[in-house]
Amino acid sequence: MRTVFTGSLLLSLVVALMAAGTVGLVGYRLGGGIWPFAVALAVAVAVVLRPVLVRARAVREPFPNLYRTWLTNFVPVYQHGTPDEQARFEALVLAFLAEQRFEQVKDEVPWTWERKLAVAAGAATLLLGRPGWTFTTRRSFLLYPETFDRDYFDGAGHGDFDGMAHQQGPVIFAAHALDVAWAYEDASNVVLHELAHLLDYAGDTADGIPSLLDPASAPAWERLVRRETQRIRVGKSMLRSYAATNGAEFFAVATEVFFEKPVPLARRHRELFDAFVAFYAYDPRPPAERTDAAPEDDEDGDGEPDHRLQIPPKPATG
Ligand SMILES: [Zn+2]
Protein backbone atom coordinates (compact mmCIF):
# COMPACT_ATOMS: atom_id res chain seq x y z
CA MET A 1 0.00 0.00 0.00
CA ARG A 2 1.78 3.11 -1.14
CA THR A 3 1.10 6.55 0.22
CA VAL A 4 1.92 10.00 -1.05
CA PHE A 5 3.92 12.58 0.83
CA THR A 6 2.11 15.82 1.49
CA GLY A 7 5.10 17.97 2.43
CA SER A 8 3.58 21.38 1.93
CA LEU A 9 6.07 23.84 3.38
CA LEU A 10 7.94 24.31 0.11
CA LEU A 11 4.69 24.57 -1.85
CA SER A 12 3.32 27.11 0.66
CA LEU A 13 6.51 29.12 0.36
CA VAL A 14 6.33 29.14 -3.46
CA VAL A 15 2.65 30.20 -3.40
CA ALA A 16 3.39 32.90 -0.82
CA LEU A 17 6.32 34.23 -2.86
CA MET A 18 4.20 34.30 -6.02
CA ALA A 19 1.45 36.18 -4.18
CA ALA A 20 4.03 38.59 -2.75
CA GLY A 21 5.51 39.08 -6.22
CA THR A 22 2.08 39.92 -7.66
CA VAL A 23 1.28 42.37 -4.88
CA GLY A 24 4.75 43.92 -5.20
CA LEU A 25 4.36 44.29 -8.97
CA VAL A 26 1.02 46.02 -8.61
CA GLY A 27 2.54 48.34 -6.00
CA TYR A 28 5.52 49.03 -8.27
CA ARG A 29 3.27 49.87 -11.25
CA LEU A 30 1.33 52.23 -9.02
CA GLY A 31 4.56 54.06 -8.35
CA GLY A 32 5.45 52.66 -4.93
CA GLY A 33 9.01 51.68 -5.91
CA ILE A 34 10.46 48.54 -4.33
CA TRP A 35 8.78 49.03 -0.95
CA PRO A 36 5.60 47.09 -1.84
CA PHE A 37 7.87 44.18 -2.85
CA ALA A 38 9.78 44.29 0.39
CA VAL A 39 6.69 44.53 2.59
CA ALA A 40 4.76 41.82 0.70
CA LEU A 41 7.80 39.53 0.84
CA ALA A 42 8.21 40.00 4.58
CA VAL A 43 4.51 39.33 5.20
CA ALA A 44 4.55 36.21 2.98
CA VAL A 45 7.59 34.71 4.68
CA ALA A 46 6.20 35.50 8.14
CA VAL A 47 2.85 33.86 7.30
CA VAL A 48 4.50 30.69 6.00
CA LEU A 49 7.18 30.44 8.66
CA ARG A 50 5.01 31.29 11.67
CA PRO A 51 3.58 27.75 12.05
CA VAL A 52 7.09 26.32 11.72
CA LEU A 53 8.35 28.60 14.48
CA VAL A 54 5.32 27.87 16.71
CA ARG A 55 5.96 24.15 16.37
CA ALA A 56 9.72 24.47 16.92
CA ARG A 57 9.14 26.44 20.11
CA ALA A 58 6.41 24.07 21.37
CA VAL A 59 8.45 20.88 21.02
CA ARG A 60 11.35 22.40 22.97
CA GLU A 61 9.14 22.73 26.07
CA PRO A 62 9.71 20.10 28.77
CA PHE A 63 7.03 17.41 28.66
CA PRO A 64 4.89 17.55 31.84
CA ASN A 65 5.16 14.48 34.05
CA LEU A 66 1.41 14.66 34.55
CA TYR A 67 0.95 14.10 30.80
CA ARG A 68 3.47 11.28 30.82
CA THR A 69 1.62 9.44 33.56
CA TRP A 70 -1.73 9.91 31.80
CA LEU A 71 -0.36 8.61 28.48
CA THR A 72 1.29 5.65 30.21
CA ASN A 73 -2.03 4.74 31.81
CA PHE A 74 -4.31 5.17 28.84
CA VAL A 75 -2.62 5.20 25.44
CA PRO A 76 -1.39 1.80 24.20
CA VAL A 77 0.90 3.07 21.42
CA TYR A 78 2.68 5.26 23.98
CA GLN A 79 2.82 2.44 26.56
CA HIS A 80 4.44 0.02 24.11
CA GLY A 81 6.71 2.55 22.45
CA THR A 82 10.48 2.47 22.53
CA PRO A 83 12.09 5.48 24.26
CA ASP A 84 12.64 7.00 20.82
CA GLU A 85 8.99 6.49 19.85
CA GLN A 86 7.83 7.94 23.16
CA ALA A 87 9.97 11.02 22.61
CA ARG A 88 8.49 11.49 19.13
CA PHE A 89 5.00 10.91 20.52
CA GLU A 90 5.57 13.61 23.14
CA ALA A 91 6.83 16.08 20.52
CA LEU A 92 3.73 15.39 18.39
CA VAL A 93 1.49 16.02 21.42
CA LEU A 94 3.19 19.32 22.25
CA ALA A 95 3.06 20.47 18.63
CA PHE A 96 -0.63 19.57 18.30
CA LEU A 97 -1.56 21.37 21.52
CA ALA A 98 0.28 24.49 20.34
CA GLU A 99 -1.10 24.42 16.80
CA GLN A 100 -4.80 23.77 17.36
CA ARG A 101 -7.58 25.86 18.90
CA PHE A 102 -9.63 24.36 21.70
CA GLU A 103 -12.69 26.60 21.87
CA GLN A 104 -15.00 26.74 24.84
CA VAL A 105 -18.66 26.68 23.78
CA LYS A 106 -20.40 25.45 26.95
CA ASP A 107 -19.36 26.43 30.46
CA GLU A 108 -20.32 23.05 31.88
CA VAL A 109 -17.81 21.20 29.73
CA PRO A 110 -14.44 23.00 29.91
CA TRP A 111 -11.42 21.92 27.92
CA THR A 112 -9.45 20.40 30.79
CA TRP A 113 -5.85 19.35 30.22
CA GLU A 114 -6.98 15.69 30.19
CA ARG A 115 -9.46 16.37 27.40
CA LYS A 116 -6.97 18.31 25.29
CA LEU A 117 -4.39 15.60 25.88
CA ALA A 118 -6.94 12.92 24.87
CA VAL A 119 -7.31 14.63 21.47
CA ALA A 120 -3.59 15.30 21.05
CA ALA A 121 -2.85 11.65 21.91
CA GLY A 122 -5.09 10.60 19.02
CA ALA A 123 -3.21 12.86 16.63
CA ALA A 124 0.16 11.56 17.86
CA THR A 125 -1.05 7.96 17.53
CA LEU A 126 -2.03 8.46 13.88
CA LEU A 127 1.09 10.43 12.93
CA LEU A 128 3.75 8.47 14.86
CA GLY A 129 4.85 6.41 11.87
CA ARG A 130 4.42 9.25 9.37
CA PRO A 131 6.68 12.17 10.24
CA GLY A 132 5.81 13.86 6.92
CA TRP A 133 2.09 14.10 7.68
CA THR A 134 0.44 16.87 9.65
CA PHE A 135 -3.06 17.98 10.50
CA THR A 136 -4.20 21.38 9.31
CA THR A 137 -3.14 23.87 11.94
CA ARG A 138 -5.45 26.31 13.76
CA ARG A 139 -8.42 24.01 13.45
CA SER A 140 -11.16 24.56 16.02
CA PHE A 141 -12.02 21.75 18.43
CA LEU A 142 -15.37 22.16 20.19
CA LEU A 143 -16.87 20.27 23.08
CA TYR A 144 -20.59 19.60 23.65
CA PRO A 145 -21.98 18.09 26.83
CA GLU A 146 -24.30 15.61 25.10
CA THR A 147 -24.74 13.90 21.78
CA PHE A 148 -25.84 16.27 19.03
CA ASP A 149 -27.43 16.23 15.60
CA ARG A 150 -26.31 17.61 12.27
CA ASP A 151 -27.45 21.10 13.28
CA TYR A 152 -25.46 20.85 16.54
CA PHE A 153 -28.47 20.74 18.82
CA ASP A 154 -27.33 18.94 21.90
CA GLY A 155 -29.26 17.43 24.76
CA ALA A 156 -31.72 14.63 25.19
CA GLY A 157 -33.60 13.70 22.07
CA HIS A 158 -31.35 15.72 19.78
CA GLY A 159 -29.41 13.40 17.51
CA ASP A 160 -26.95 10.66 18.24
CA PHE A 161 -23.59 11.99 17.07
CA ASP A 162 -20.83 11.85 19.64
CA GLY A 163 -18.27 13.27 17.28
CA MET A 164 -18.17 15.10 13.96
CA ALA A 165 -15.38 16.30 11.69
CA HIS A 166 -15.71 18.80 8.88
CA GLN A 167 -13.38 19.20 5.94
CA GLN A 168 -12.82 22.92 6.50
CA GLY A 169 -14.65 23.54 9.75
CA PRO A 170 -14.38 22.45 13.35
CA VAL A 171 -14.14 19.04 14.97
CA ILE A 172 -16.83 18.51 17.60
CA PHE A 173 -16.86 15.97 20.41
CA ALA A 174 -19.54 15.06 22.94
CA ALA A 175 -17.76 15.31 26.29
CA HIS A 176 -19.03 11.98 27.61
CA ALA A 177 -17.63 10.18 24.54
CA LEU A 178 -14.32 12.02 24.66
CA ASP A 179 -13.92 11.23 28.36
CA VAL A 180 -14.07 7.48 27.75
CA ALA A 181 -12.26 7.41 24.39
CA TRP A 182 -9.05 5.99 25.92
CA ALA A 183 -10.59 4.39 28.99
CA TYR A 184 -11.05 0.95 27.45
CA GLU A 185 -9.39 -0.95 24.64
CA ASP A 186 -12.81 -1.72 23.24
CA ALA A 187 -12.29 -0.88 19.54
CA SER A 188 -14.26 2.31 20.03
CA ASN A 189 -12.46 5.65 20.23
CA VAL A 190 -14.17 8.83 19.07
CA VAL A 191 -10.84 10.70 18.86
CA LEU A 192 -9.22 8.21 16.51
CA HIS A 193 -12.47 8.08 14.51
CA GLU A 194 -12.82 11.83 13.90
CA LEU A 195 -9.10 12.41 13.31
CA ALA A 196 -9.07 9.54 10.80
CA HIS A 197 -11.80 11.45 8.92
CA LEU A 198 -9.46 14.46 8.83
CA LEU A 199 -6.73 12.33 7.22
CA ASP A 200 -9.34 11.15 4.74
CA TYR A 201 -10.33 14.78 4.04
CA ALA A 202 -6.74 15.87 3.54
CA GLY A 203 -7.41 15.88 -0.21
CA ASP A 204 -10.73 16.64 -1.86
CA THR A 205 -13.46 14.62 -0.21
CA ALA A 206 -13.89 11.91 2.40
CA ASP A 207 -14.63 8.97 0.18
CA GLY A 208 -12.94 6.29 2.21
CA ILE A 209 -9.95 6.20 -0.12
CA PRO A 210 -7.59 8.20 2.05
CA SER A 211 -6.20 11.02 -0.04
CA LEU A 212 -2.74 10.23 1.33
CA LEU A 213 -2.92 6.89 -0.45
CA ASP A 214 -1.05 6.65 -3.71
CA PRO A 215 -3.73 6.57 -6.46
CA ALA A 216 -2.04 3.42 -7.83
CA SER A 217 -3.08 1.62 -4.64
CA ALA A 218 -6.71 2.79 -4.81
CA PRO A 219 -8.14 -0.23 -6.70
CA ALA A 220 -6.57 -2.70 -4.24
CA TRP A 221 -7.85 -0.58 -1.36
CA GLU A 222 -11.39 -0.55 -2.80
CA ARG A 223 -11.34 -4.33 -3.28
CA LEU A 224 -10.25 -4.79 0.32
CA VAL A 225 -13.00 -2.48 1.60
CA ARG A 226 -15.63 -4.31 -0.49
CA ARG A 227 -14.56 -7.69 0.85
CA GLU A 228 -14.39 -6.56 4.47
CA THR A 229 -17.76 -4.78 4.14
CA GLN A 230 -19.21 -8.09 3.00
CA ARG A 231 -17.83 -9.75 6.12
CA ILE A 232 -19.53 -7.08 8.26
CA ARG A 233 -22.84 -7.73 6.53
CA VAL A 234 -22.71 -11.46 7.24
CA GLY A 235 -21.67 -10.90 10.84
CA LYS A 236 -18.12 -12.21 10.47
CA SER A 237 -16.17 -9.05 11.15
CA MET A 238 -14.58 -7.42 14.17
CA LEU A 239 -15.66 -4.07 12.71
CA ARG A 240 -18.98 -2.75 13.99
CA SER A 241 -21.78 -2.48 11.47
CA TYR A 242 -21.48 1.32 11.20
CA ALA A 243 -18.32 0.68 9.14
CA ALA A 244 -20.52 -0.65 6.34
CA THR A 245 -22.24 2.78 5.99
CA ASN A 246 -19.76 3.98 3.35
CA GLY A 247 -16.06 4.02 2.55
CA ALA A 248 -15.30 6.99 4.80
CA GLU A 249 -16.90 5.38 7.86
CA PHE A 250 -15.17 2.11 7.02
CA PHE A 251 -11.79 3.85 7.15
CA ALA A 252 -12.60 5.68 10.40
CA VAL A 253 -13.99 2.59 12.19
CA ALA A 254 -11.18 0.35 10.92
CA THR A 255 -8.66 2.90 12.24
CA GLU A 256 -10.25 2.64 15.71
CA VAL A 257 -10.04 -1.17 15.67
CA PHE A 258 -6.50 -1.12 14.24
CA PHE A 259 -5.13 0.93 17.13
CA GLU A 260 -7.38 -0.40 19.91
CA LYS A 261 -7.39 -4.12 19.10
CA PRO A 262 -4.40 -4.73 16.85
CA VAL A 263 -3.60 -8.25 18.01
CA PRO A 264 -6.99 -9.84 17.26
CA LEU A 265 -7.30 -7.72 14.10
CA ALA A 266 -3.99 -9.11 12.83
CA ARG A 267 -5.22 -12.62 13.55
CA ARG A 268 -8.71 -12.35 12.10
CA HIS A 269 -8.33 -9.74 9.32
CA ARG A 270 -4.74 -10.14 8.22
CA GLU A 271 -5.01 -8.39 4.88
CA LEU A 272 -6.80 -5.42 6.40
CA PHE A 273 -4.28 -5.26 9.22
CA ASP A 274 -1.33 -5.34 6.81
CA ALA A 275 -2.90 -2.59 4.69
CA PHE A 276 -3.25 -0.36 7.75
CA VAL A 277 0.31 -1.11 8.91
CA ALA A 278 1.47 0.03 5.48
CA PHE A 279 -0.78 3.10 5.53
CA TYR A 280 0.19 4.31 9.01
CA ALA A 281 3.75 2.92 8.66
CA TYR A 282 3.37 1.53 12.15
CA ASP A 283 2.57 -1.79 13.80
CA PRO A 284 0.53 -0.95 16.93
CA ARG A 285 0.84 -4.42 18.49
CA PRO A 286 2.94 -4.76 21.66
CA PRO A 287 6.52 -5.63 20.56
CA ALA A 288 6.25 -9.22 21.87
CA GLU A 289 3.27 -9.79 19.56
CA ARG A 290 4.91 -8.44 16.41
CA THR A 291 5.77 -11.69 14.73
CA ASP A 292 6.63 -11.90 11.08
CA ALA A 293 4.41 -14.91 10.60
CA ALA A 294 1.24 -13.86 8.86
CA PRO A 295 -1.48 -16.36 9.69
CA GLU A 296 -4.39 -16.59 7.33
CA ASP A 297 -7.63 -14.83 8.16
CA ASP A 298 -9.58 -16.27 11.04
CA GLU A 299 -13.20 -15.39 10.26
CA ASP A 300 -14.76 -17.57 12.93
CA GLY A 301 -12.47 -16.14 15.62
CA ASP A 302 -11.44 -19.49 17.06
CA GLY A 303 -7.78 -18.47 17.08
CA GLU A 304 -6.89 -20.94 14.31
CA PRO A 305 -6.33 -19.96 10.70
CA ASP A 306 -9.43 -20.79 8.68
CA HIS A 307 -7.70 -23.19 6.29
CA ARG A 308 -7.40 -25.61 9.19
CA LEU A 309 -11.16 -25.87 9.18
CA GLN A 310 -10.91 -27.67 5.88
CA ILE A 311 -8.72 -30.43 7.24
CA PRO A 312 -11.02 -33.43 7.65
CA PRO A 313 -11.19 -34.64 11.23
CA LYS A 314 -8.93 -37.49 12.12
CA PRO A 315 -10.79 -40.74 11.67
CA ALA A 316 -11.63 -42.29 14.97
CA THR A 317 -9.41 -45.22 15.74
CA GLY A 318 -10.07 -48.32 17.69
ZN1 LIG B 1 -17.57 8.92 11.08
CA–CA distances in Å: residue 47 to residues 10, 42, 307:
13, 9, 58
CA 164 to centroid of ligand 1, rounded, Å: 7
Give me the count of residues in the chain.
Answer: 318
Instruction: Summarize the confidence of residues 111-129 as an average pLDDT.
Output: 97
Task: Note whether 265 and 238 are within 8 A (CB).
Answer: yes
Q: How far apart, in whole angstroms, are the C-alpha atoms of residue 111 and residue 242?
A: 28
Q: For position 308, what pLDDT does the model report? A: 43
CA 130 to centroid of ligand 1, rounded, Å: 22
CA 124 to centroid of ligand 1, rounded, Å: 19
Decide which of 201 and 93 is more confident: 93
CA–CA distances in Å: residue 135 to residues 7, 29, 298:
11, 39, 35
The domain defined by 87-289 folds into Collagenase (Catalytic Domain) (3.40.390)
> Residue 7: what are its φ and ψ, rounded to 5°?
-40, 110
Please state, rounded to an integer, the average pLDDT across all residues of the chain.
Answer: 84
pLDDT tens digit sequence for 235-269: 999 999 999 999 899 999 999 999 999 999 999 99
CA 60 to centroid of ligand 1, rounded, Å: 34
CA 248 to centroid of ligand 1, rounded, Å: 7
- Banded pLDDT at 304 (limits 50, 70, 90): low
Residues with C-beta atoms within 5 A of ion ligand 1: 249, 252
CA 299 to centroid of ligand 1, rounded, Å: 25
CA–CA distances in Å: residue 76 to residues 79, 283, 300:
5, 12, 26
**Between β-strands 171-174 and 140-144, what pairing exists: parallel, antiparallel or unpaired?**
parallel
Task: Note whether 151 and 158 are within 8 A (CB).
Answer: no
Q: How far apart, in whole angstroms, are the C-alpha atoms of residue 142 and residue 152?
A: 11
Structural domain spans, the chain: 9-59, 87-289
Q: For position 157, what pLDDT does the model report? A: 56
Q: For position 100, what pLDDT does the model report? A: 95
Instruction: Summarize the confidence of residues 213-226 as an average pLDDT.
Output: 88
Q: For residue 310, give the amino acid letter.
A: Q
Decide which of 206 and 220 is more confident: 220
CA 249 to centroid of ligand 1, rounded, Å: 5
- Banded pLDDT at 4 (limits 50, 70, 90): very low
CA 227 to centroid of ligand 1, rounded, Å: 20
Q: In what order do the strands lie in the sheet with 101-103?
A: 101-103, 140-144, 171-174, 163-165
Q: For position 309, what pLDDT does the model report? A: 39
CA 253 to centroid of ligand 1, rounded, Å: 7
CA 194 to centroid of ligand 1, rounded, Å: 6
Q: Which of 76-90, 197-211, 237-251 has the least mean pLDDT?
A: 197-211
